Amino acid sequence: MQNLCPLNLTAEPGNSVTLTCQVITKNQVTVVEWKRPDVDSGYVFFYRSGESDPDKQHPSFKKRVELKDKHLKDGDVSVILKNVTINDTGTYECYMAEKGRSSQLITTVTLTDGGDKDRGHVGLVAGLPVVALLLLIAAVVGFIIYRKHETHSGQISYQRPADEVG
């Protein structure tokens, strides 16, 4: 089996998201386990011997998670999480076992909330330093212009006429 790199996904509440997990294998996949380390009891999804087992699922995931490919073709053990909520954010772990072997961690997927509330907050946080910098620049430029104006208005320029030189 081949481990994949961790994956980061963003999903908006109410949408579905595919938690991707795929391995290159020639053997029959016998067990698929999707877990959340921060969820105490139950699986996100559990599959054994050709069928899913909803009795082993945590109640918050029941009727919301299914295999992307029920035939597990090409080692694809990805699942679709439906009707995503803010409570679904976190890290998911994909474990798989081939015939005659024990389950192994294949990959981790981190799911974050992509709702408008988060984007607005991030935009506000990122925008505040820019506004502060622009105000500082405007103040410095304004001060320089003021000082130049004061310096020029305070000087009286006088030149002697050429015929008075002497």
145 and 99 part of one domain: no
92 and 128 part of one domain: no
94 and 136 part of one domain: no
Q: Find how far residue 155's CA is from the centre of its chain.
A: 61
54 and 20 part of one domain: yes
Q: What is the pLDDT along the chain (166 residues), one digit of tens a residue?
A: 555 578 899 999 999 999 999 988 888 899 999 999 998 888 999 999 889 999 999 999 999 999 999 988 888 999 999 999 999 999 999 999 988 889 999 999 999 988 755 444 444 344 445 555 565 566 666 667 767 766 666 555 555 666 655 5
Range of the domain at 134: 117-153
Q: Are strands 79-81 and 104-113 parallel, antiparallel or unpaired?
A: unpaired
Q: Find how far residue 75's CA is from the centre of its chain.
A: 26
Q: Give dist(CA 90, CA 51) in Å, integer.
A: 26
Query: In terms of Cα–Cα distance, which of 40, 21, 18 is closest to 32?
Result: 21
Q: Is residue 121, in this structure, part of any structural domain at all? A: yes
Global pTM reads 0.66
Residue type, 164: E
